Amino acid sequence: MANIQLYFFPASPFCRSVRMTAKALGVPLELKQRSYHNKDHLSPEFTKINPDQIVPTIIDGDFTLWESRAIMRYLVGKFGGEDNSLYPRDLQKRAEVDRLLDFDLGVIYRALFENLVIPLRYKKLPKTTKEQDETIMKAFGRIDTLVKDKKFLTGNNLTIADFAMVVEFADEVLYSGDMSKYPNAMAWYKRMQELPYYQEVNQPFYDLVENMKNPAETS
């Protein structure tokens, strides 16, 4: 099986969800790391590959695809076999996964990533307003409700919706509030962290946050 090329930023949530999907499927990726701060995605070379200048982007033979949710669906469709619980063929089960993917992008991403992570792009730790705190707490509370009495977001089976949402939930490391208010979400988060590939894929994000919290002293 020829390796699929993945152009990615290591700490990007969208790239991390794609990498976890590939790991879960056992699909090898030829990693093409790019630097956001060096603006590698804006280079003429990469623009020829992806005119939208975004990652993740994959190249599978003569086929190029971007947008993380499209890539996750593609990987399961191509490598997941006849029916794979990561993105099930059953119409209603698949619709539930799609709903959660859309909900994550429209609500959870905007609440957590935009309020907690965007400042990191400017090498600043987040300082949230009261209004932002309310938005963040509402997002965490919604996830807490979603996984109540469930092992994963849709039930007992791991899906690509879990991958998409957990990379946003990981932003809790930047949140100064009390996460014990969300016991169901934290239990789900722990289960996701116990996946054999979770730490490898997500460590660059945690390293970035740690470096921001404890910048190296310069002489």
**Residues comprising the chain, all counted:** 219
State the pLDDT at residue 218: 39
Which residues have a catalytic role annotated?
Answer: 12
d(CA 72, CA 167): 14
d(CA 162, CA 177): 23
What's the pTM value of the predicted model, to 2 decimals? 0.93
State the pLDDT at residue 2: 57
Written as tens digits, the pLDDT of the chain (219 aa) is: 558 999 999 999 999 999 999 999 999 999 999 988 888 899 999 999 999 999 999 999 999 999 999 999 999 999 999 889 999 999 999 999 999 999 999 999 999 988 898 877 666 777 788 999 999 999 999 999 999 999 999 999 999 999 999 999 999 999 989 999 999 999 999 999 999 999 999 999 999 888 877 776 433
State the pLDDT at residue 219: 37
Instruction: Name the 3-class secondary structure at 5.
Output: strand
Q: How far is residue 146 from each of residues 104, 113, 191, measured CA to CA in Å?
A: 12, 19, 15
Map tokens 């990379």 to a residue.
167
